Amino acid sequence: MKNNSVAKVTQNCLIDLHLHLDGSISIPSARELAAISKVTLPEDDNELKKLLAVAEDCTSLVDYLKTFDLPQTLLQNEEAIERCVYNLCTEMSKQGYIYAEIRFAPQFSMNEGLTQEQIVKAAIKGLDKSGFNAQLILCAMRRFDFSKMEIIDNSDLNNETLRLAKKYLGKGVCAIDIAGPEAQCPVNHYKELFAKAKELGVPYTIHAGEALGPESVNLAIEYGAQRIGHGVRSIESEKTMAILIEKRVPLELCPLSNINTGVYPSIKDEPIKSYLDRGIVVTINADNSMVSSTTVRRELQTIVDVFGLTDEQIKQIFINSANAAFLSEASKKQLVDLINAEYEA
């Protein structure tokens, strides 16, 4: 390995810690799920892609969020949920991933009468059948009624998500998360949920510091989040940067997603290089691989092209991801060994 050369991201040791199931349904997978769920799709793949992915130059959160409508329709029965997880795992295995944490919100698959437990069990079945080294993160949700401009109280649904995370912890599930509109539903609204998670010994990551600034990251860390979903805006506060450095809380950065949702105008505006230079524990993830037409390899290649990162820095990102995973120390070490072997080859 030449330490100071600009990296080539060809390694087969990809890890994704921040990947939403509903935003990562490939075209062939969508067609299978539609057949299972008896949903009619456009016959032309380009037309179908327009429903599942944003245009390359998308910078609109509204357009971005529209791409989740069809996936939600496709994920309303157990067979489809199981197949969706299975397909994503199989695809990732072929793409050179060695580990993934796939997240989804069970409460979004209840439209046709499934319970959250049936949904979680179906997802675990898909995971187990695939044989791929992956775990599930169950997303609790921030929900906001934009017509009334008020936060929806879905604490019962979120508490049930947490109960299931505890029940299936280590059996396919590794953690919980909270997703949804951060700007309208700040972290403090969910203080109780995470206090309960802590009490139950369920690990958690919190989406924070994406739509809102560093104060959201501070609160997530104060509530005990082991990782921060995005956290990309932490750089706006020296205090937050100091906390991240001191506590070594990993950031789950998703560079292309931040462009597509309009957090930053372009990759060069993202503070990724500053985080690396200052020793923040950075991981690089896809967020929604279908929506943003991306993979961890593409994310890494993009930041290499823009910032001229070295092999050493890319390897460090892989190692960070391995160590930040919701895994036992022994399983993390296995991933680190695979990364070291890939770089020695």
Which residues are identified as catalytic? Answer: 210
Separation CA 178–CA 167 (nearest Å): 18
Contact letters for Zn ion, residues 276-315 (x by CB under 5 A): -----------x----------------------------
> Which pair of tokens denotes residue 305?
């092209």
Q: What is the dihedral of CA 290, 294, 295, 300, to 10 degrees?
A: -160
Q: Which is nearer to Zn ion, 325 or 339 (CB)?
A: 325
Nearest partner of 313 among 345, 277, 266, 337, judged by Cα: 277
Q: Which is nearer to Zn ion, 250 or 310 (CB)?
A: 250
Q: Which is nearer to Zn ion, 41 or 303 (CB)?
A: 303
- Spell out the alpha helix ranges (H) of 177-230: 191-200, 214-222
Contact letters for Zn ion, residues 60-89 (x by CB under 5 A): ------------------------------
Query: In angstroms, what is the minimal distance from the CB of 207 to Zn ion?
Result: 6
**Residues binding Zn ion: number (CB under 5 A):** 1
Contacts for 58 with CB less than 8 Å, ≥ 6 apart:
64, 259, 260
Query: In angstroms, what is the minimal distance from the CB of 212 to Zn ion?
Result: 14
Q: Which is nearer to Zn ion, 91 or 287 (CB)?
A: 287
Tokens 């009490």 — which residue? 199
Q: Which is nearer to Zn ion, 182 or 287 (CB)?
A: 287
Q: Name the residue number minimizing CB distance to Zn ion.
A: 287
Is the sign of the CA dihedral 73, 79, 84, 87 positive or negative? negative
Query: In angstroms, what is the minimal distance from the CB of 288 to Zn ion?
Result: 7
Q: How far is CA 62 from the centre of its chain?
A: 19
Separation CA 171–CA 249 (nearest Å): 25
Separation CA 265–CA 274 (nearest Å): 17
Contact letters for Zn ion, residues 213-242 (x by CB under 5 A): ------------------------------
Is the sign of the CA dihedral 323, 19, 102, 97 positive or negative? negative
> Which pair of tokens denotes residue 52?
């599942």
Q: Which is nearer to Zn ion, 33 or 139 (CB)?
A: 139
Contacts for 133 with CB less than 8 Å, ≥ 6 apart:
98, 99, 100
Separation CA 20–CA 305 (nearest Å): 25
Q: Quote the DSSP letter at residue 7.
A: P
Query: In angstroms, what is the minimal distance from the CB of 226 to Zn ion?
Result: 16
Query: In angstroms, what is the minimal distance from the CB of 64 to Zn ion?
Result: 11
Question: Considering only residues 102-121, where is the footprint of Zn ion by CB under 5 A?
Answer: none
> Which pair of tokens denotes residue 303?
């930041």
Contacts for 95 with CB less than 8 Å, ≥ 6 apart:
14, 295, 297
Query: In angstroms, what is the minimal distance from the CB of 209 to Zn ion?
Result: 12
Contacts for 328 with CB less than 8 Å, ≥ 6 apart:
none
Q: Which is nearer to Zn ion, 109 or 261 (CB)?
A: 261
Query: In angstroms, what is the minimal distance from the CB of 287 to Zn ion?
Result: 5
By the criterion CB under 5 A, which residues form the site for Zn ion? 287
